[in-house]
Structure 1
């Protein structure tokens, strides 16, 4: 609870949309949120639908995708809580979005998502970089 409160207090300092349009950032965040919620309710097929075509080429089946997620991305797969941080537009159709996550182990993580706008206008996840977050201790 304390970590989530800290994340919420720091969120205004972390959130900087100076480089990205609000609508694009909100659409990218909605994609991330929808995937995390799909994982949370156990709807892995829905979560896989938010992966970009390039990810689906690397992980061509739901089973392969979930093997990668459950093996290397437990905080993303089963977050206790999460909050959006910094975002940046990297060209006309690409967004980088930081997500601060409290993992299933109670530890803080930083996930950096990359997303690309698809021809249909939706954003899909092209990658996630995950690392233990540097947290302030009191």
Structure 2
């Protein structure tokens, strides 16, 4: 799977913009950065942001954000991001990215793991 420097920049921008939308409680903007599959799963921006608020506080309100490398995990282009949760717990977010037919990138899932976890 090939990706370019412009893909790296676009992927980072999508994640940064979604994180900014969460900070502002802008459900519609945050939802717009999700892939069509994620949008179908949650149905509305309100359902989506409620799920993130409840189950992903480190994504919803991170104290700090540090972008790591992009890797491929099970054929998914994955951006690794170090987050500091609202409670001061460091976590690694694995953002699964999906390229759309119009060549834009959307977030197709996010998994939080401990920073000690080995990624293979």
Which runs of structure 1 show a deviation greater than 4 angstroms over 4 or more consecutive aligned residues? none
In 2, Cα distance between the equivalents of 1:117 and 1:38? 21
Larger radius of gyration: 1
Shift of 1:132: 3.0
Bigger fraction of residues in strand: 2
Instruction: Give the alignment partner of residue 58 of structure 1, picking from 16, 41, 48.
Output: 41
After TM superposition, the score normalised by the length of structure 1 is: 0.75
Kindly state the Cα deviation for residue 98 of structure 1 after the two structures are TM-superposed: 0.2
Q: Shift of the alpha carbon at 1:63?
A: 2.1
Correspondences of 1:2-21 after superposition (within 5 Å): 20-21=3-4
Identify unmatched segments of 5+ residues in structure 1.
1-18
What TM-score results when the alignment is normalised by the length of structure 2? 0.86
- How many residues get paired? 114
- Structure 2, gaps ≥5 residues long: none
Equivalent residues of 2:30, 2:45 under 8 A apart: no
Alignment of 1:1-138 (within 5 A): 20-88=3-71, 95-134=77-116
Structural RMSD (CA):
1.8
